[in-house]
Structure formats: structure tokens, C-alpha cells
Amino acid sequence: MISNKSDALDEMESSCSFQRHVTHVLANDEVNALVNQKSKFKWEMPAEDIPKSKWVGTGEKIKGASDDPFVDVKGKLKDHWQKILSDDLNYRSRFFSLCNSYRDIMHCNKKPFYLKGSKVDSSTMDAYLMHALSHVHRTRDVVIKNDAKLRNDANTDVMEDDSYRDQGFTRPKVLFLLPLKSIARRIVKRLIQLSPLTQKDNSMGQFKKEFGESDDELEEPNSSKPTDFNLLFAGDVEDHFLFGIKFTKKSVKLYSNFYASDIIVASPLALKLKIDGGEVTKKKGRPKENDSDFLSSIEIVVVDYADVISMQNWSHLHAVLEQLNHLPSKEHVTNVMRIRPWYLDEQARYYRQTIILSSYLTPEMNALFNGSCLNYEGKVKLATEFTGVLPKIQLEIRQ
């Protein structure tokens, strides 16, 4: 009976979207098609709750919503989300299902907190945070399960069984790219709320000291600036931050070592400086060697508030994405025999999911999405039809 139960669990695990995504083997013609950008948006489906919008995509068309979009989520996570979100959980399920398809996503009609007259819609943020948590826990559970199997049977030959190839070159799997400290604070605090684990007091104290405690940014009275400007820049507008988040069995630890972290939270500027080696002080008259190997195994990238990033330095974001999923410059604490084949074959960028979120679309975002997002699963993009202002003109004017 125990064996049958274990077999059933293994079958369930293998059918989940995470396992399906990471165990897929790319054929040469698939790689060539991705490199040559031959895929076109060929299907569409309605975007619920987003007026005059639809999702268009490449690859196979996404199936309709299932009865339980959280069927792939681990029990502890799912129970915690149902407890804190209750009725709002179903509302988050729409975008979560899209994220859980592991396709590249561009959503450029998000309602930000600083938009005047707009109700704050946190469902999109919650959905991608839930997806990131689910991915991190899935990755960790597979490694722990295989570790236990190897301990129980020391004679197992890892090279003969691909199910034991469950790791990347380094541990970090998720990267959040954000423009400002005030926005990073919102997202990290919400991430901790959505995690069933308890955070460590000392790291949370440091986080509050550096990023502040309150999310209630208020508009400056008697300001000559527009309302959206005042709300966006009411908090900490520092655009240089970079830290790791580590999930253990019982806790969430902030400011963990990059190579021991599961999630990296950064601004494009700070990460660009880290890659270039410019953020470290000189030692013996020479700058420290740049170290960006912790970006070699990133599997999910979320670029939130891309509209704000576009008002900073867009080239930093482009440079960071170009640096992802390269072969590491030196060996780190990893069992080479357990590294997934597509990492060794330098195909990791084809497995990486990139999610770009903004309140409006720009040509630069389109170029980044089309040129730097090469996920073999395909792409999904929100297409919105705008009525414009000409119909509002009362008198007919020859154009």
C-alpha cells in the first residue's frame, strides 16, 4: 500500500506544470526556431476583468481555466493562501494560472497604486508572488526528496537516472527587478505575508531600518506636482538596492548570501553595478573581480513597474537580462552530476520565464519582450484596444 501511494504521488508530481516544464527536452529544431524568432502570435483568448483587452500568444493555446487552478500548489502553501485571502483567492487565480503556464508574459495595462482615481489592484502582484513561492518550494522539495533517496540507497548511480538531475549551477531561482525601495518594501512585505513560514526578527529589523515600515504613502499637501507623481515619490525613492531572500524549513531569512538565497530582489542599477564590479571598494589598488555567477540559474524573472524603470535608465535593465543564464566563471558548491542537462547544454535561457508588468506599453518594452524573452513554452501578451479621444470631439473636424 505504501508503495502504491508513493507511486501515485510520483505520478501526480510528474504531471504538474513545474515538472513538465523543467523535464522537457528541447530538440535542435526547437532551439533553432527560438533563436531565429520564428514564432508569431497566433491565438487569443479574452482577458477577464480587463476592459477591451485580450491575451494573444505563441505556441499552443492555453487551455481554459480548470476547476482548481491551485491543484499543483503544495498543501501548506495552498492552505495558508486560503486562510489569508479567503474569497479573494479566486480573483488571484486568473493571473496565477497564466504564470503557472511558465510562459513569458507581458501585462502592460496594470493599475498601479499611484494612479489617481484607480482602486489599488494587488491581485496581479499577489499572483506572481504566489507563483514565485510555489516554484521555490517545488524546487526545494524535489532536491530534499532526492537527497533522502540517495541517503537510503548509497549504491544509486545518479548518472543512470535523470530524475536525480534536479539542480542548477547555483541556488537562486527567482529575480525581482524593481525601480524604487518603496516598491521593493511593498513586494517583500507581501511576499512574507503570503509565505506560511515565519521570518527572522533580526533580518526583518534590518529591512525595516533600510526600507522603512509604512506602506501608506500620502500625497504631499499643497503640492504643485500631479497626484500620481506625489504618490509614486512619497516613499523612499532610492534606486540602489540588492539583497537575497532564503527559505529554510521554518523561516524566511532576508539579506542572505547570494549563493545561499532562493530569491534575489534588486534594482537594475544595483545589479548592473554588481555585474560590472563597480559597487565594491578597491583593494590593493584594483577593483574586486566582478561576481555575477549567482545569476546563472535564474528560472523566473519579474520586472514590475517597468513604466517607472523606463524613466530611469532602460539600458541597465537590458544589460541585466543579457547577463542571465550564462555559464558560471568558477565552480560553486554544487554536485555536477545533479545539474539539469539544459544548464550544461547552455539552454537555460530557453527555460527562463520572464514576466514584464507595466501600466502602459512602450516600444522599448516591446523590443525587450520580443528580443530577450526566448521561453520555449511561448509568449503571452495583453493586447488592449483604446478608443482614443477623437470620438469625444463634438464638432466634426476634417483630419
Mean pLDDT highest for which of 157-161, 245-249, 274-278? 245-249
* Among 75, 82, 180, residue whose Cα is nearest residue 126: 82
User: Are 368 and 317 contacting, i.e. CB atoms less than 8 angstroms apart?
Assistant: yes
Whether residue 196 is contained in a domain is answered as yes
Look at the pTM and tell me if it is higher than 0.75.
yes
Q: Give the range among 31-35, 337-341, 385-389 with minimum mean pLDDT.
A: 385-389
Average pLDDT over residues 225-251: 89
Residue 282 has pLDDT above 50, yes or no: no
CATH number at residue 104: 3.40.50.300
Judge whether 315 lies within some domain.
Answer: yes
Res. 24 pLDDT band, cuts 50 70 90: very high
- Predicted local confidence at residue 7, as pLDDT: 47
Average pLDDT rounded to a whole number, residues 210-221: 66
Determine, yes or no, domain membership for 352.
Answer: yes
Indicate left, alpha or beta for 294 from its phi (over 0: left) and psi (-120 to 50: alpha): alpha
Report the amino acid identity of residue 10.
D
For residue range 73-121, list pLDDT tens digits in order.
Answer: 888 899 999 898 887 787 788 899 999 999 999 999 988 888 765 556 6
How large is the average pLDDT for residues 269-291?
Answer: 69
With respect to residue 399, please indicate whether it lies within any of the assigned structural domains: no
Residue 395 covered by a domain: no
Q: What is the mean pLDDT of residues 358-373?
A: 94
Q: Does residue 394 belong to any structural domain of this protein?
A: no
- Establish if 72 belongs to a structural domain: yes
Tell me the C-alpha distance between 208 and 186, whole Å.
11
Name the strand (E) or helix (H) holding 43: strand 43-46
Q: Which of 235, 383, 250 is nearest to 308 (CA)?
A: 235
Look at the chain and report how many structural domains it folds into.
Answer: 1
Pick the residue with more confidence: 318 or 12?
318
Whether the pLDDT of residue 141 is over 90: the answer is: yes
Instruction: Note the pLDDT of residue 5.
Output: 43
H or E element that contains 142: helix 123-152
pLDDT at 14 (0 to 100): 54
For residue 92, the Cα-to-chain-centroid distance in whole angstroms is 16
Percent of the chain with pLDDT over 70: 86
What the block records as the C-alpha cell of 250 is 521554518
Instruction: Using the predicted structure, report yes or no on whether residue 230 has a pLDDT greater than 90.
Output: no
- What is the residue-averaged pLDDT of the chain? 85
Do the strands 53-57 and 43-46 form a parallel or antiparallel pair, or are they unpaired?
Answer: antiparallel
d(CA 264, CA 259) in angstroms, rounded, equals 10
User: In this model, does residue 200 exceed pLDDT 90?
Assistant: no
- Residue 132 is assigned to a structural domain of this protein: yes
Lowest mean pLDDT among 77-91, 236-250, 372-386: 77-91
- Judged against a pLDDT cut of 90, whether residue 231 lies above it is answered with no
Cα separation, 336 vs 317, whole angstroms: 31
Q: What is the largest CA-CA distance in the chain?
A: 85
Residue-range definition of the domain harbouring residue 114? 2-280+290-386
The dihedral over CA atoms of 309, 314, 319, 325, expressed in degrees to the nearest 10, equals: 40
Of 21, 33, 344, 322, the closest CA to residue 169 belongs to 344
The helix (run of H) or strand (run of E) holding residue 199 is strand 198-199
